[in-house]
Chain A
Amino acid sequence: MEYLYQQDTFELVLGWEFYLPLLFAVIMIILAVPVWAVLGVTSISMLYFSDVLPLSLLGESLFDGIDAFALIAVPLFILTGDVLVRTGLSHKLLDVAEALVGGFRSGFGTATVLVCGFFACISGSDAAGAAGVGRMTIDRLVEQGYPKPYACALVASGACTGILIPPSIAYIIIGLILGISASTLFLAAIIPGLLVMVTIMITNVVMNRIMGYENASQGFSFKRVWKAIYDGRYALIVPFIILGGIYTGIFTPTEAAAVAVVTTIIIGLLQRTITLADFPKMLASSAKVNGVIVPIIAFSLPLAQTLAALEVPQGFVFAMTSMTDSETIIILMMILILIVAGCVMETTPNIVILAPIMLPLAQEIGMNEIHFCIMMVTSLGVGFITPPLGLNLFVVSGLTGTPILKVAAKAVPYVLSMFFVVLLLAFVPELSLWAL
């Protein structure tokens, strides 16, 4: 056993106690069993059969695993998105985006993506942005000449920036798992997140040139921009409070989220767009989303610990490094695994389970851990618009009644362009690390 870490002799042997639960998990996923329950069964059965850790670990990790101040930012950043929609501040943001870029060719498409970006600066989740922006823009995109499935695909893709532009729930979770401060990750993620947003805008412009969807131009005037910014001033203050507060170190991400919630609620109350009677519904729906996401973390944690005890991470490093010496190929394989994982599984369990397995390999080839986080989250972000489990596709398809596969077909150019950004980020570490 003492040569365990000498790479040339380490061979990972996993028996049925590993593969059987995995097989069961795949079957249950296909049979539409909810994700948290699948992870629960897999965690429990792997703990029980492998016998490397006590089963009582489960009872503790359901409490200790989520007992973290950083995680409280999750429900708060969901709530900010919801408040933004209900107070009508999201419409003000759309006006600003339209005034800024609506005058150019395929302007409303670009404005749609830009408003997704604004949303991403305020809300840390993805689906809330897709729902909020989709409700405002899809009908109008159709009016501008876009076919409905394409309009849905555009919103779904734009909303991917929700977890890629800080603040972001995904970066909070990966920071928690790998022990990196979320504020640092938020700083590193600015350029990568904006890069994705700009790439989606450009893709839409290019698609427009080819297909000729949108032709009306609204014209550009500084007066209009100024008026939109003035009308939307309260909505525009919020991202400054959140990001300014986090980057200057005044707030932790969790505090910034709470301050943002309080600020948006006060603005809504003062402008009389929401009343106290709206509170129960608003809080209950955000709490429900929280009750969907966080249990997935809680049940993934014992699984990640069991995999670590079974020495899966070391086995993974060995398997990959024995296949090739080339760093480029290893990075490409990691991206491939992440994108496939993003297609078949939800982002949260992917982060909790795969981050501890893949980080040692990344470090083995000399990759900075923050750079690794950016690469990982961006790769997984592509999974939001790929079937069979693209959360954003589900949201916009549910919103408009457009069949999910039709939307997915129109999202292909966006998947490809996001893949290009992932490659760029993976091979140009400076894009992530310049600010640190």
Chain B
Amino acid sequence: MRNILKAIDQNLERWLLLVFYSLIVMTIGSEVVRRFGLSYSSIWGEEIARYAFIYLVWIGVAAAVRDRAHIRIDVLMQFLTPRGKALIYLLGDFVMLAVALLALFYSYETLMTSIKFGSVTHGLRIPQAWFLAAVPFGFTLTCFRLIQSILRDWGDFRGGRPVFEGERLFD
């Protein structure tokens, strides 16, 4: 059980991103082939790709929080002690958490409105809610990652350990 939880903690975003990314590439790829081979293109192909993209974006935010990869102006960092750095990272995490919670709240509201009125997508005619859910889902994940990050940085700050500086965006 512990191992399963650990695997999820380490790989959840990676697995999901892999699924949605492949979905985008394969749908658009097959649409192109279909248009050349059969001179016919579907209405749902573009729709699938667009909605997979939205999932990709908001899950990507959580992945980037986990790896501390979000773009920030870190000129200040080189003048700080490790504890100062930890404080700056904590500040950034709290601001992100505030924005993520508000975004979660308002996107959840949008989702509920859609469910209430039962709106469906243009191409597939399935409930729009499945896709609108991408935003609150992504932000739930993001909030979770931020809380993890805050706890870790707080521990580093208290213990005076060097703070996690993140993985490089391009390795």
Chain A contact residues, CB within 8 Å of chain B: 28-38, 40-41, 44, 55-56, 58-60, 62-63, 66-69, 71-72, 75-76, 79, 127-128, 131-132, 251, 254-255, 258-259, 261-262, 279-280, 283-292, 294-296, 298-299, 346, 387-389, 391, 395, 398-399
What are the interface flags for B57-85 relative to A under an 8 Å C-beta threshold, 1 for contact and 0 otherwise?
11111111001011111111100000000
Residues of A within 8 A of B72 (CB): 32-35
Q: Which residues of chain A have C-beta atoms less than 8 A from B61's C-beta?
A: 36, 291, 295
Cα separation A285 to B21 with both chains bound (whole Å): 11
- Is the Cβ of B102 less than 8 Å from the Cβ of A58? yes
* Residue B88, interface by CB 8 Å: yes
Q: A261 with B25: in contact, given A66-B57, A288-B69 (CB under 8 Å)?
A: yes
Query: Which B residues lie within 8 Å of A389 (CB)?
Result: 73
Q: Are A44 and B110 in contact (CB under 8 A)?
A: no
Q: Enumerate chain B residues within 8 angstroms of A66, measured Cβ to Cβ.
A: 53-54, 57
Contact partner of A56 (CB less than 8 A), chosen from B32, B109, B134, is B109
Interchain CB contact (< 8 A) of B22 among A55, A58, A283: A283
**Minimal Cβ-Cβ distance residue in A for B133:** A63
Q: Which residue of chain B has the shortest Cβ distance to A68 in the bound complex?
A: B50
B19 shortest CB reach to chain A, Å: 9
Q: Which of B31, B46, B95, B169 has the most CB of A within 10 A?
A: B169
Q: Are A262 and B17 in contact (CB under 8 A)?
A: no
| Nearest-neighbor residue (CB-CB) of A344 within chain B | B73
Specify which chain A residues have a CB less than 8 angstroms from the CB of B99 in the assembled complex: 36-37, 40-41, 44, 299
Most chain A CB inside 10 Å of its own CB: which residue of B60, B88, B109: B60
Inter-chain contacts of B13 with A (CB < 8 A): 284
The tally of CB-CB contacts under 8 A between chains A and B is 197
Tell me the bound Cα distance from A131 to B169 in angstroms: 10
Nearest 5 interchain pairs by C-beta: A291-B60, A59-B106, A40-B99, A131-B170, A34-B70
Which B residue's beta carbon lies closest to that of A251?
Answer: B32
Residues of B within 8 A of A261 (CB): 25
| Residue from A32, A68, A298 within 8 A of B92 (CB atoms) | A32
Interface presence of B56 (CB below 8 A): yes
Rounded to whole Å, the gap between the CB of B79 and the closest CB of chain A is 11
Chain B residues with CB under 8 Å of chain A are: 13-14, 17-18, 20-22, 24-25, 28-29, 31-32, 46, 49-51, 53-54, 56-64, 67, 69-77, 88, 91-92, 95-96, 98-99, 102-103, 105-110, 131-132, 134-135, 168-171
Q: Determine the residue in chain A with the shortest Cβ distance to B104.
A: A59
Known: A258-B32, A286-B21, A287-B63. A40 touches B103 (CB 8 A): yes
What is the distance, in angstroms, from A201's C-beta to the closest C-beta of chain B? Answer: 24
Q: Once the chains bind, are B98 and A279 in contact (CB under 8 Å)?
A: no
Interface of chain A: mostly helix, strand, loop or mixed: helix
Q: Given the complex, which residues of A lie within 8 Å of B171, measured CB to CB?
A: 285
Tell me which residues across on chain A come within 8 A of B59, comparing CB atoms: 287, 291
Q: Is the CB of B106 within 8 A of A58?
A: yes
B95 near A76: Cβ-Cβ < 8 Å: no
30 A-B residue pairings within 8 Å (CB atoms) = A28-B95, A32-B92, A33-B72, A37-B96, A41-B98, A44-B99, A59-B107, A59-B109, A59-B135, A62-B106, A62-B107, A62-B135, A63-B132, A66-B57, A75-B24, A76-B24, A76-B28, A131-B170, A255-B32, A258-B24, A261-B25, A279-B18, A283-B21, A284-B18, A287-B17, A288-B63, A292-B69, A295-B57, A296-B71, A299-B99
CB of A55, distance to nearest CB on chain B (Å) = 7
A72/B106 in contact, CB under 8 A: no
User: Which A residues are in CB contact (< 8 Å) with B64?
Assistant: 288, 291-292
In-complex Cβ contact of B95 among A41, A60, A68, A285 (8 A): A41
Q: Is the pair A31, B96 in contact by a Cβ cutoff of 8 Å?
A: no
Contacting residue for A292 out of B22, B71, B131, CB 8 A: B71
> Do A75 and B53 contact each other (CB < 8 Å), given the known contacts A33-B72, A289-B169, A398-B168?
yes
In the complex, residue of chain B having the shortest beta-carbon distance to the beta carbon of A131: B170
Contact flag A63-B134 (CB < 8 Å), given A283-B17, A284-B17, A291-B63: yes
Residues in A whose Cβ lies below 8 Å from that of B25: 76, 79, 258, 261-262
With a CB–CB cut-off of 8 A, which chain B residues contact A60?
A: 110
Complex Cα–Cα for A292 and B168 (A): 13
B60 touches A287 (CB 8 A): yes
Residues of chain A with a CB closer than 8 A to B76's CB = 30-32
Known: A72-B24, A288-B169. A258 touches B106 (CB 8 A): no
User: In the complex, which residue of chain A has the Cβ closest to the Cβ of B47?
Assistant: A69
A72 touches B109 (CB 8 A): no
